[in-house]
Amino acid sequence: LNVVLLQLLLLQVKQALQSNELKLKSINDDLNILNGELEKMKVYLENVIKVRQEIVELTTKLDNVKSQMQIHRATADSLRRGIGELFKGSESELDYEIATFEMKIQKEKESLSQLQLEIEKNDEQLIGRCKQRDEIVSHENKLKLEIEYWNGKLTEFDSQISIMCSKANISNNYGNNVALQDIRKYCQSQADFLKTKEDEYSCRLNELKQEISDVEIKKKSEERNMSVLKEQIENCKSEIKKIEEQLLQSKTAVDELDALAEELKLVNEQIEMKNQFISASRMKDEIEELARFSECKHSEINDLNNQLKKAKQHSAAEMQLDMWKREKATKLKAVEELMEKHEKFLNMHFKHTPNELLCSEMRKYVESKHVELTKLNAEMETLNSTVQNCTEQLNLNDEMIKEKTNDLETYNKKIAAACDGDPSSYNSVLLSVTENIEKLQLEKGNIGGTGFLYKKYVKYLKKNPCCPVCHRDFPSPEIVDSVIDELNETITNLPNREQSLISNLRSQETRRDTLVGLKPLFDIVQKLELQTIPDLEKERQLLIEKRESASQQLRQCEVRCKIADEEHRQATAILVDIITVDSFLQYERSLCEKIAQQEELLNASGMMMSSEDLQQKIEHARNMLSENEAMLQLKRKEQSKHRDILQNLRDCAHNLTEKKQRALNQMQQSASLRELESSRRAELSRLEANFIDAKEQVEILQQQLNERTLELDCLRQNSVEILEPLKSGVADLADSLRQLDHSADHLKQYNVEEFKSQLEQLKRKRVENEQIIHSLETSKMDKVNKLQNIQKGVVCAEMRKRDLHDFKKLLSEEGAQCRLAAEANHLQMELDSKMLPSGETDFDTVNEEYCKKLKTSHELIGKKSELELTIDRLRGELDSNIYKDADVKWRDKMIAHVTLEHAQNDLYHYANALEQAIMQFHKTKMQEVNAILKDLWETVYQGSDVDYIEIKSEEDLQDNFGKRRNYNYRVVMHVGKEVLDMRGRCSAGQKVLASIIIRIALAEVFSTNCGFMTLDEPTTNLDSKNSANLARALVDLLRVRSLEKHFQLILITHDDSFVEQITRFWPVEVFYRVKKNDAGCSKLYEETVDKLT
């Protein structure tokens, strides 16, 4: 994997190096072409800029002069209009007049400030007095309200006293305090009377409760005595009954004594008969006759089994037919009920649609409603998103407008900083700076050429003292020397001049670069002012209209969606029943076809006997065969059992003798039992008499208890009727008394004389304060009038002073206008002398194209440098140790990979062939197992519901090589033509039988030399009928497999009846019983089958 990655990286590096070299070559070609075009455009632009700079300078100067003239003219006009009266005098007189007015105004302002201070002090005193007046008035009103409140409380207290006196029948002639004392005494007397009554009733209630408690205790005691007596009576009766039973047994023992003697005599006679009438030859003939009868019955049973198999198929078909008919009727009835349930809806929408097409039409209807609902939901989502988008776009639009406005202000500030405060003059400033640069560059070039020319001319003069143009000689050598000195001096000054020009040129170029850098900002500002911000405003209005329209459509769509949703839910609910109806109809049609086919098969079969009759015949034949074989076995064992029978008869005779002796003993005990019976009966009569006395005593006590309880209830009712009104009256009196005490304590705080004296003092203070306020207001009015008069004089003086100053400015503005007019005429003459060169009409276009190509050139130079660095890096990587011998390593690894891949394919084919062979072996073995299962089931199983069983093996499909295959096994049963899983469908007996048969089949296929089979408790969870069927099936299995020498069946069970049923049909002489000996250890004991009977 590392070699593959290294090879891929090597290819990528080579491809990258090749592509970068091609790009570098292309960039070099483009740069050469672009540099030639830039050189031509630069020469053209320098020539045009040089002339334009001069024109722009003159035009700018002329515009500045004219604008200054207009400003001075406008200023002079406004000053002339603002002066009310022109001053007639000299300029010195004008200055003197201005100084006089200034002194006058200063004096008036000082007097104004002094008056204002006095007015402010007066206002402060007036505000303080007004506050005092307001406080006095508020305090006076508060005192009046308190007096009214206390008067109302006194009146309310008098009325309460009067009401309480009328209730208690007390006179109120001696004042409220005396009446209040009398009311307290009356309330105390009422409370004492209530307490006395409560004590009387509680005392009587306690007495009655004590009497009731005593009676209940006596009653419970008598009831306990009754229960004890009753228990004793029952014990006595049970003892008498036992004695009677024993007496009856003794009587029956006397009667049985003769019967036992007769039975003992019969047993002895049987023993003699057994010894006389046993014949061996007769028993042998009987055994041979029974064997021949068994062979005949076996052949008869085989014939009947073949007929039964056909009859089972016929009866199963009839049962299936009946079941289909009943199911058909049920489905049709269910269809009618469902159609009646939705009759109204179906008549409305699908009145003429047949039932066969109803489901598809209903699906289409539901689908159409679903599509409609989906469209409406999508439309709602679209409209909702439109509303949200409009809202978001409005917010974004507002933010963008705010942002663009802020950007506009920021950009204008930047442009204004570079354009002397006026951002709109950007183009003119840029043009003037460009012209200055061209002028400085031209002057710089002229200086360089001048120095070269002057040096050359000096050399020429030193060699040939004559004019270089006309070649005339100078008049004298002194003139030549003076010319040479003058030229040398000029050459000496040229570097200083050139240095100053270079510094000026750099500053102008820096400014031009700044202005050129601001060109995009200026374009952005123009675009923002003229296009972007107005477009955003229009877009905002459109978004508002669009949002309102979408909101209205959304409301309409919600109404339609609600209606469509209700229709869709109704149709969906009905569609479930319609689908059920359609499935029922399809199933009914399939049932009709099955019924017709089944009836044809039944008519063609022509069975004469039913499976029940054949089953009965087979059962009868099997019973006869089983009885015959049992008889055969019994006959074979009869001789061996003869001795056991004789021994049993002798044991029986011995037992009869013991019973006879026990009967004689019981006859002797009957006298003592009669005496005990008489004593128990006397005691029983005594206990019954005591029980009756106790019962009468309980009834008397119950009557007393009822009387006391009734008296207690009456007493409680009387106490409630009498005491409750008294309690409520005493509580009302106590509440009224508490209120009176509270009112009296509260009124003690009221002093009438003190409140009246405070009110008189406040009235006097208020009158004095109002007099002082009136005097302060009068003084303030006088000072305000005086202040207004002084202010009017100051305003008139200020106006005259301003007129004088304006007249002085007017004189200076008129002088400036004359100077600027002369300067403008001079500049206009210079401007008229300048001319633009030919072909200068497309300067802006060429300049813009030059800037774009220059920018492109810089970008290409940057890309060129990046590509050169990338190429150097890639070449260094190729020369490094990482990619050394990468091709050789790649070839070796590919050879190893291809070889390994071929080896893997060969191994896969070999493993696949081995897997197929194993699968074929497994399939063959499973077929053998299923064949043995079918044979055993048909031979052993006597039922008619299952034909035979088999094991189904299913493989888990896995494509991954190297994993073991997994098989899933399941037991299935064949019923007619149907194959069903036995799990959950078979009985317990079928499960047990199937498990036994499966073990035998697996043992025969996979364990040929080992035929042992052990069953541990096979009758667990089986009833008696299934247990009997299992026993018969095991006997049949033994009969079939008994011919094999290696087959052995070991049965472990606690069910004696199950073993007895097996021995009845199969000749088993002995069995082994597991018991524990005296030491507690399990041990096997051999026993004969006779012990089970």
Binding-site residue ranges for Zn(2+): 467, 470
CA 693 to chain centre: 81
CA 221 to chain centre: 71
Q: For residues 129 and 774, is the Cβ–Cβ distance under 8 A?
A: no
Q: For residues 633 and 1069, is the Cβ–Cβ distance under 8 A?
A: no
Give the residue from 110, 101, 99 showing the smallest Cα distance to 790. Answer: 110
CA distance 66 to 56: 15
Tokens encoding 333: 């009835």
3-state secondary structure of 926: helix
Tokens encoding 1010: 């080992």
CA distance 883 to 874: 12
Give the DSSP H or E segment for 978: strand 978-981
Which positions ≥6 away from 543 have C-beta within 8 Å?
390, 393, 394, 397
Tokens encoding 423: 């951002």
Give the DSSP H or E segment for 1076: strand 1070-1076
1012: which strand partners?
Answer: 1048
Which positions ≥6 away from 50 have C-beta within 8 Å?
435, 438, 439, 441, 442
Alpha-carbon torsion, ordered 497, 502, 507, 508, to 10 deg: 90
In terms of C-beta distances under 8 Å and separation of at least 24 residues, what long-range contacts does 630-639 make, across chains too? 630/1064, 630/1065, 631/290, 632/287, 632/290, 632/291, 632/294, 633/1067, 635/283, 635/286, 635/287, 635/290, 636/287, 636/1067, 637/1069, 638/283, 639/278, 639/280, 639/283
Q: Residue 944 to residues 197, 759, 939, 980: CA-CA distances in angstroms?
A: 97, 127, 12, 15
Q: Which residues of 685-700 are buried (b: 16+ CB within 10 A; e: fewer)?
A: eebeeebeebeebbee
How much is the CA Rg of the chain, to the nearest whole Å?
70
Q: For residues 740 and 163, is the Cβ–Cβ distance under 8 A?
A: no
CA distance 221 to 204: 26
CA distance 555 to 547: 12
Three-class HEC string of 163-229:
HHHHHHCCCCCCCHHHHHHHHHHHHHHHHHHHHHHHHHHHHHHHHHHHHHHHHHHHHHHHHHHHHHH
Q: For residues 1063 and 1035, is the Cβ–Cβ distance under 8 A?
A: no
Give the DSSP H or E segment for 1071: strand 1070-1076
Which positions ≥6 away from 140 have C-beta within 8 Å?
759, 762, 763, 766
Q: For residues 151 and 143, is the Cβ–Cβ distance under 8 A?
A: no
Which positions ≥6 away from 15 have C-beta within 8 Å?
none
Q: For residues 810 and 80, is the Cβ–Cβ distance under 8 A?
A: yes
CA distance 492 to 760: 112
3-state secondary structure of 610: coil
Q: From the annotation, which residues make up the binding site?
A: 467, 470
Q: For residues 515 and 433, is the Cβ–Cβ distance under 8 A?
A: yes
- DSSP states of 664-679 as a string? HHHHHHHHHHHHHHHH
